[in-house]
Amino acid sequence: MRNKKLFAKSNIILLLILLVLLATVIFISLSVREDNVQKKLSAGNSVAFIFNITSNKAILFSEVLIYHPGTHRAAVIDIPANYGSLIKSLSRVDRLDVLYKKGKPEQYIKKIEVETGLSIPFYFDFELEEFKNCVDLLGGLDFVIGTPVLRHETLSDTVLLPGGRHKLDGDKVIEYILNEELNNKDSELSSSHQKLIQTFVSALGANKDLLLMKEVFPIFYKNMDTNMGQLGLKSFLAEISNADCPRMIFHRVLGDKKTVDDKEMLFPHYNGNLLKEGLKQIVEALGNTNIIEGSNLNIAILNGTTVSGLAQRTSSTYRSLGYNVTSVGNAEESNVEATIIIGHRNDSSILERVARVIKCRNIQTENGTEGTITIILGKDFDGRQCK
């Protein structure tokens, strides 16, 4: 009998030990998973985060933030809600936003990954009210208003915010967002969305210490839907405070609008290949300080063909990589056979990097002004690269 009691007691002790070990393993596993942000950042490569701003559980706009922890450079990629693509799960062509589900954005994000060629492991979902609350926690956002913001609830021209620099609280930021959605064209909307996320991310970094306070952080964390654990979000805030926000690269989808099943959609140029190549170059540029020389260069892009808008589209590619395109226009001739890049002989290494963007092999040096480069597009340029 005594042996049985001892045996039973030893079994209980063994069971308790096993339970403690199991709890420890689960805790460690959850902790590692919770701070997978730091794990990604520690790898030393660019990491992507998507910001989804929603209203009544529907996408208003999405912006992908790409950040490199080594160089602290960042880019913001605008993903239009009306991006048109074949949705295999629905067996039809439709807008990307049909895939979005509040609280379960994974399918929507996965499709964006396919279209962009990016890996996007982390997301922030903000309903307008949640975004407003976060802005108020930050003490507002500094904004430069170009066109006066009108009160969106009324049909009258009630001016809510005049032009100029303002400190916007949460309510005024929401007014700004809704005003932009109602009154701006696609290109202006993209720029507006990108500047908003740039300003928001900059404010997150500047107010890192405030947000990490034990009284504040739970409120901040509550006002979003994210797949980051609390440790992961804290790692994000600590790292993003180092971001070079003023020099963020902006990139947007270029394409053609078409109406399909009574829905207006934006279909990217060259079946999305131009977008993927541009983003690939941006990711490379973020990790290489020698690639982006933006403010040190003055680039002129001239169209030497009869293809309308070729120089303008090419300028978007260079600007998305941080290059300073100062002028766009037509060349003196419209039958240039081969694309040529012209610059000062002392800028030879820079010229080569500029040429690699469009795979141009025709470089000419001269005794002009250093830091000034002219690109003349020829018939060999197909809109993406030289053949």
What residues contact residue 369 under an 8 Å CB cut-off, 6+ apart? 344
In the prediction, which pLDDT does 148 show? Answer: 67
What is the DSSP secondary structure assignment for residue 270, as one 8-state letter? G
With a cut of 80, say whether residue 202 has pLDDT above it.
Answer: yes
93 and 205, same domain (yes or no)? yes
Let me know whether 311 and 263 are in one domain.
Answer: no
pLDDT at 31: 45
d(CA 257, CA 206): 39
Whether 152 shows a pLDDT value over 60: the answer reads no
82 and 112 in a common domain: yes
Q: Is residue 26 part of a domain?
A: no
The two structure tokens encoding residue 136: 């108020």
Are 18 and 212 spatial neighbours (Cβ–Cβ below 8 Å)?
A: no
| pLDDT recorded at residue 138 | 96
Secondary structure (DSSP) of 99-151: G--TT--HHHHHHHHHHH-----EEEEEEHHHHHHHHHHTT-EEEEESSPEEP
The beta strand positions in 188-334, using DSSP E, are: 225-226, 249-252, 255-260, 263-268, 298-303, 325-330
Q: Indicate if 352 and 330 belong to the same structural domain.
A: yes
111 lies in some domain = yes
Q: Are residues 146 and 238 in the same domain?
A: yes
Domain boundary among 254, 283, 312: 283
Tokens found for residue 248? 């963020």
Q: Are 117 and 159 found together in one domain?
A: yes
198-226: average pLDDT: 96
**What is the reported pLDDT for 255?**
86
| pLDDT tens-place string over residues 337-360 | 999 999 988 888 888 889 988 999
Give domain status of residue 313, yes or no. yes
- Is 239 in the same domain as 310? no
Do 126 and 246 belong to one domain?
Answer: yes
Return the DSSP state at 178: H
Mean pLDDT for all residues in the chain: 86
* CATH code of the domain containing 345: 3.30.70.2390
Q: Which of 55-59, 110-114, 345-349 has the lowest mean pLDDT?
A: 345-349
Q: Which of 156, 114, 143 is nearest to 273 (CA)?
A: 114
- Rounded to whole angstroms, the Cα distance separating 347 from 369 reads 10
Residue range 327-340: mean pLDDT, rounded: 94
Q: Write the CATH number for 188.
A: 3.40.630.190
Q: How far is CA 152 from the centre of its chain?
A: 27
Q: Which of 32, 30, 33, 49 is nearest to 239 (CA)?
A: 49
Tell me which residue range forms the domain holding 173: 39-283
Using the predicted structure, report yes or no on whether residue 28 has a pLDDT greater than 60.
Answer: no
Is residue 55 scored above 60 in pLDDT?
Answer: yes
For 147, residues 6+ apart whose C-beta sits below 8 A from its C-beta are 163, 183
Percent over 90 (pLDDT), the chain: 56
Same domain, 159 and 252: yes
Asked whether residue 131 is assigned to any structural domain, the reply reads: yes
Of the residues 283, 314, 341, which one is the last residue of a structural domain?
A: 283
Of 265, 283, 301, at which residue does a domain stop?
283
Q: Is residue 247 part of a domain?
A: yes
Sign of the CA dihedral with 177 first, then 180, 183, and 186 last: negative
- Determine, yes or no, domain membership for 29: no
105 with 155, same domain? yes
Q: Is-contact 292 73, C-beta < 8 A? A: yes
* Count of domains for the chain: 2
Mark whether 206 and 311 lie in a shared domain.
no
Give the pLDDT of residue 47.
97
Sequence length of the chain is: 387
Mean pLDDT, residues 158-173: 79
The answer to whether position 308 is within a domain reads yes
Q: What is the pLDDT of residue 72?
A: 94
Beta-carbon count within 10 A of 212 CB: 15
- Same domain, yes or no, for 315 and 177? no
Q: Is residue 184 part of a domain?
A: yes
Q: Please give the residue that has the higher pLDDT: either 6 or 24.
A: 24
